Amino acid sequence: MLTTSTAQHAREQELLDRVVRSFGTCPDPRLRELLTGLVRHLHAFIREVRLTEREWAAAIEFLTRCGHVTDDKRQEFILLSDVLGASMQTITVANPARGDATEATVFGPFFVDGAPRIPLGGDIAGPAAGEPCWVEGTVTGTDGTPLADARIEVWEADADGRYDVQYDDGRTAGRAHLHTDEDGRYRFWAVTPTPYPIPHDGPVGRLLEAAGRSPMRASHLHFMVSHPGRRTLVTHIFVRGDELLEHDSVFGVRPSLIRDFEKQEPGTPTPDGRQVEGTWSRVRFDIVLAPGEPEDRRGDG
């Protein structure tokens, strides 16, 4: 690391102090805290790496390209936040551990409002390709109380690694919502999760390539679970044994969310008597909601 003279250090510090003071009259205390904190950390980064003007211009161009590919169906800035770990760190800060409450993870860009409701034991797959998977569990509070009529939103990619919104035919597949029964139990059919790449044909993809990083996400199934008086949970479950668990491109894997997806041989009876040709899998995921007011984490997702 290059060293700077005392005089140069003083010049840089004087500039930082002037910028911080410029926000001193901001009438909103929280906004003032955010802006001054951002300025301090941004200037610290510039000074630590001794940023060049050429590198600054390249960064501006990169952000500009992110803006050009962002539209109502694609949010490249959220993708950038994801691959830098900023999304997951925000979730970690905003969702402190609360007893044995189920841990949260990244929301992802593929949630869609208005997914169809299915009955208990229904199938979210629709035309989504993949091995059938039976998913079951309970939703309770941290005190163990079963939560009846909890709303569970579920969505996932198909066996080809694509969500329904990534197709051009308007299909609804691999997503639905359902409600728990009076004992807080739920069950449904899905497809066994498989790995897939995040969108990597834009600036963020080129950044990953330049950094020698993979765009692949570990196999997972999304959940968003809500109930009055409980904190809304956005999470996934991951497939134990997936080679990508340690290399998830958005850092979303938590050990507590890894589950056994048990492979069932052809002809094995299913829990509901459904006839399945070939193999299928089953998984159990018991969900514990923390107390607190429900929060909407959907953002632009």
pTM above 0.75, yes or no: yes
Whether the predicted pLDDT of 295 surpasses 50:
yes
Residue spans of beta strands (DSSP E) within the chain = 132-141, 151-155, 175-179, 185-191, 196-197, 216-217, 220-226, 233-239, 258-259, 262-264, 280-284, 287-289
Within 8 A by CB and 6+ apart from 242, the residues are 195, 218, 219
CA distance 180 to 119: 10
CA distance 178 to 186: 8
Q: What is the pLDDT of residues 26-43, one digit of tens each?
A: 999 999 999 999 999 999
SS3 of the chain: helix, strand, coil, percent, to 5: 30, 20, 50
Q: What is the pLDDT of residues 73-118, one digit of tens each?
A: 789 999 999 999 999 999 999 988 888 999 999 998 889 999 999 9
